[in-house]
């Protein structure tokens, strides 16, 4: 399960977030009209926020800039793509961006601008199975949580490196169908792997501990993964923890 925009890093990373409203609205018009599933909209939005965070000096700064520049621009545009962006930011934003985007989305939709079909329940999928496994030495841990929109489930997996003080090394999103059984069977056949299911709240707390510890991607693909999925990870960790 991947974003439909393989060049999103090249498109947004060199530009300061405050200077991007027109660029983002045009890109949203081109991309979001073809999105069919909520998770695909979230993946695109998370990827975009991650790319913007590079030029903004970090994700908190990018979120703040989006709240003060793109949210008003999207509301003023009063277009379907502007409303779609506001819904995405309301799902993935931090404590500053999320409420301003949600309020602007409500005002925009009240004027008659149509919301995309995938916007209902965006950011609040049903929580499914959660589990983690690690090597017996406890050096690395993989934690997976599953979520469902309608009949379609996806899995968010995080690789936590305990050799680096519990920091996040990699993050990826994929199809959740049959994944728990496959993981359990693989772990059951490997005496060097410790496998355990966990409840949603425990999974959320564990993810938030890892987020607080920081990030330690080493390889280029790990750096890209963590950057692209950071906003989605933070939103899902809060959802699991009940916030």
Q: Which residues contact 151 (CB under 8 A, 6 or more apart)?
A: none
Using pLDDT thresholds of 50, 70 and 90, give the confidence band for residue 128. Answer: very high
For residues 120 and 100, give the distance between their C-alpha atoms in angstroms, rounded to a whole number.
Answer: 18
Q: What is the mean pLDDT of residues 94-112?
A: 96
Q: What is the mean pLDDT of residues 110-136?
A: 94
pLDDT of residue 177 exceeding 60, the answer is: yes
Q: Cα dihedral sign for 73, 76, 80, 84? A: positive
Q: Which of 124, 188, 192, 179 is nearest to 146 (CA)?
A: 179
Distances (CA, A) of 116 to 29, 31, 82: 12, 12, 11
The whole-number pLDDT of residue 13 equals: 52
The C-alpha angle with vertex 115 and arms to 113 and 116, in degrees rounded to 5, equals 140
Which pTM does this prediction carry? 0.91
Q: What is the pLDDT of residues 17-62, one digit of tens each?
A: 555 788 889 889 999 888 999 999 999 999 999 988 887 788 999 9
């Amino acid at each position: 399960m991947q974003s439909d925009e393989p060049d999103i890093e090249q498109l947004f990373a060199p530009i300061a977030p405050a200077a991007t409203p027109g660029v983002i609205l045009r890109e949203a018009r081109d991309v979001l009209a073809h999105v069919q599933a909520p998770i695909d909209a979230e993946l695109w939005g998370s990827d975009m926020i991650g790319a913007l965070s590079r030029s903004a000096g970090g994700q908190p700064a990018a979120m703040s800039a989006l709240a003060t520049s793109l949210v008003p621009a999207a509301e003023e545009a009063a277009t379907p793509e502007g409303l779609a962006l506001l819904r995405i930011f309301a799902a993935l934003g931090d404590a500053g961006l999320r409420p301003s985007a949600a309020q602007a989305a409500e005002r925009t939709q009240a004027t008659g601008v149509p919301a995309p079909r995938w916007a209902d329940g965006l950011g609040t999928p049903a929580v499914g199975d959660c589990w983690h496994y690690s090597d017996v030495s406890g050096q690395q841990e993989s934690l997976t949580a599953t979520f469902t929109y309608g009949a379609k489930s996806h899995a968010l997996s995080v690789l936590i490196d305990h050799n680096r003080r519990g920091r996040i090394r990699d993050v990826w999103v994929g199809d959740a169908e049959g994944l728990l059984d496959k993981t359990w069977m693989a772990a059951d056949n490997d005496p060097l792997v410790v496998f355990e299911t966990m409840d949603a709240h425990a999974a959320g707390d564990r993810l938030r501990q890892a987020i607080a510890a920081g990030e330690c991607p080493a390889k280029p693909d790990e750096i890209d993964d963590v950057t692209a999925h950071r906003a989605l990870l933070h939103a899902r960790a809060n959802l699991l923890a009940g916030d």
